[in-house]
Amino acid sequence: MKISSADGFGHPAMSRRRFVGGTALATGAFAIISRSARAQVTPGIGVDFNSPATTPWVWPLAFARHAVPLPAWKRLDPLPIPAAHQRYDEFAPVKFYDMTVSECLSRPHPQLAASPATAYQGSVPGVTFMGRYGEPVLCRVRNHLPASMQGFGSSDIITHVHNGHHASESDGWPGDWYGPGQFKDHHWPHIYAGGDWREAKGTLWYHDHRMDYTAQNTYRGLAGFFLLFDHLDSGDENDPSLDAFRLPSGVPDGSRWRGCYDIPLVFTDRRYDPNGQLVMDVMNMDGHLGDKYLVNGRVQPYFEVERRKYRFRLLDGGPSRYYLFAMSNGMSFQHIANDGNLLPNPIETDHVDLGVAERADIVVDFSQVPEGVNELYFVNRLLQVSGEKPTDTILPLAESGQLLKFIIRPETGVPDNSQVPSSLRPLPEMNTPVVRTRDFRFNRRNGMWTVNGNVFDHNRTDVTFKRGTAEIWRISSSGGWAHPVHMHMEENRILTYNRKPVDSGILNCRKDVFNLYPGDEMELYVRFRDWLGRYAMHCHNTVHEDHAMMVRIDVVP
């Protein structure tokens, strides 16, 4: 994320930001689009690929079912092999999951057709995992796909928990894909990185990571939420513990959502042919944009809310679109978490800016909406017309892309025991000695996306990193492209942004996605702890990732 000095919590280095932040957004400061440009685009989307017309706000917001562990009496067959996993006996699983990947039909809107989709446990998005620190699990993922796919996508899969702190063999290395009729066991120990409770991660997600096909397989539906809780972010707004934050709680489970105030929202965009079937331009290497906004797999749904606080977990599910989220009335909210992590302190703002795979948790208090106002919209103000990067154009609130309609129920005095504490999770120290500095240039060469001029080869080691040490990595983007850079297994910290120190504000936090806009450079403090093996750093514009902007990191003793 990039924050301008106008936000009041940014850094002067961010003054070249794409938009005016803070209260200026609420008071109507915005970039102006020319009439000719406006005539060429669908309002709020920026491109029109001639998908069939759809009426907004027809279907309610949908929620995935929760992943259900096996009952105590049931065992995986065949049994897992402990020797195949690092520190398995130390973190012996207390829960076991048996999850299938198969084809199904998915219909995102009644005016569109049911399209073939690839699904975790028959759900698009995939089932929501709910985990707790200190409760290790093992998940078996079975490939029940046909030998060949209809249209696009691969029948080979490998599952990655994005921002998971997992051993290499369970991380979803892109070259560890496997075919129909096979399965893979993933050991998720649910431990704090470095044993430090300040390193907790809360809003994670999981998705397919099959080398060369991540964009296509996730576009077909292979993605879902993965939420973790601990003694602070306990998931209970009525928690009697003095340590608990008591944030809005109750994550929806399938059709059960009333009384739930912790709401996961994945935002994607898609294209459909004249018959309403899902389509993807797999020959476009710049990045894939759609002309339909989807939230939790449905086109422009509605959601009934009460006049109280809600925690919304926002995920940019890609494959290539960036977002500037805001409320249609310009109201402010509390930004409490960035990527998977609670911030040291909440930030009051009226917008959140996300690149692909970034997350943000916000708390919106609907009791602050004036009486008589019963409808609001969650909107995207950022215009994007190319998969390579977003534009500099910020749409007026009235012309922004409407993503989700909130219908505010008329009841007043709704019980609300939740709170947003003034202090959340403090940052850990960066006290591991730095042993070296490396440079990584995200660029384009001969029509392919490269890092340091190289396309990805999963058999080539690009970085050998000694476990338990620290390094400074300079990452940069040249040319006219934006790259959301993601690192597996560990989160890292931004030291400088465009050669200016980052020591406060939203960028001074733990992150796993680092948004490089054209010409940007960041210095990162990087550590790898606890686990050994192969990990990846890559652009999370998944089209760039597949063609083939990725680095192999070998963590060694």
Furthest-apart CA atoms within the chain: distance in Å:
66
What pLDDT is attached to residue 33?
Answer: 29
pLDDT reading at 242 higher than 80? yes
| Residues 129, 133, 135, 138, CA torsion sign | positive
pLDDT tens, residue by residue, 451-509 = 999 999 999 999 999 999 999 999 999 888 999 999 999 999 999 999 999 988 889 99
Are 82-229 and 434-556 in the same CATH fold? yes
- 37-41, 297-301, 322-326, 488-492: range with lowest mean pLDDT: 37-41
Domain 24-58+256-408, CATH: 2.60.40.420
Which two structure tokens, joined as six digits, stand for 74? 């049931």
What pLDDT is attached to residue 340?
Answer: 86
| Residues 329, 304, 42, 401, CA torsion sign | positive
Mean pLDDT of the chain: 91
pLDDT tens, residue by residue, 23-74 = 333 333 323 222 233 333 355 788 889 999 999 999 999 999 999 999 999 9
Question: 170 — phi, psi (to 5°)?
Answer: -115, 5
What pLDDT is attached to residue 43?
Answer: 58
Distance between CA atoms of 9 and 233, rounded to whole angstroms? 24
pLDDT reading at 20 higher than 90? no
Distance between CA atoms of 388 and 374, rounded to whole angstroms? 38
Examine residue 125 and say whether the peptide bond preceding it is cis (omega within 30 degrees of 0): yes
pLDDT tens, residue by residue, 197-208 = 999 999 999 999
pLDDT reading at 18 higher than 50? no
Greater confidence (99 vs 9) lies with 99
Whether residue 408 contacts residue 369, with contact meaning beta carbons closer than 8 Å, is answered with yes
What pLDDT is attached to residue 84?
Answer: 98
Domain ranges of the chain: 24-58+256-408, 82-229, 434-556
| Mean pLDDT for the stretch of residues 387-406 | 95
Whether residue 283 contacts residue 89, with contact meaning beta carbons closer than 8 Å, is answered with no
Whether residue 441 contacts residue 454, with contact meaning beta carbons closer than 8 Å, is answered with no
Q: State if pTM tops 0.85.
A: yes
pLDDT tens, residue by residue, 127-147 = 999 999 999 999 999 999 999
Distance between CA atoms of 183 and 154, rounded to whole angstroms? 16
CATH classification (class only), 82-229: mainly beta
| Mean pLDDT for the stretch of residues 13-31 | 33
What pLDDT is attached to residue 494?
Answer: 97
What pLDDT is attached to residue 478?
Answer: 85
Instruction: For domain 434-556, say whether CATH 1.20.1250.20 is its number.
Output: no
pLDDT tens, residue by residue, 407-461 = 999 877 778 999 999 999 999 999 999 999 999 999 999 889 999 999 999 999 9
Residue 528 to residues 168, 188, 520, 532, Cα–Cα distance (Å): 12, 17, 24, 9
Question: Residue 335 — very low, low, confident or very high, per pLDDT cuts 50/70/90?
Answer: very high
Reduced to 3 states (helix: H, G, I; strand: E, B; else coil), residue 537 is: strand
pLDDT tens, residue by residue, 249-260 = 999 999 999 899
pLDDT reading at 398 higher than 60? yes
Distance between CA atoms of 291 and 50, rounded to whole angstroms? 8
| Mean pLDDT for the stretch of residues 303-309 | 96
Whether residue 377 contacts residue 57, with contact meaning beta carbons closer than 8 Å, is answered with no
| Mean pLDDT for the stretch of residues 82-98 | 98
What pLDDT is attached to residue 6?
Answer: 29
Give the contacts of 242 (CB within 8 A, at least 6 positions apart): none
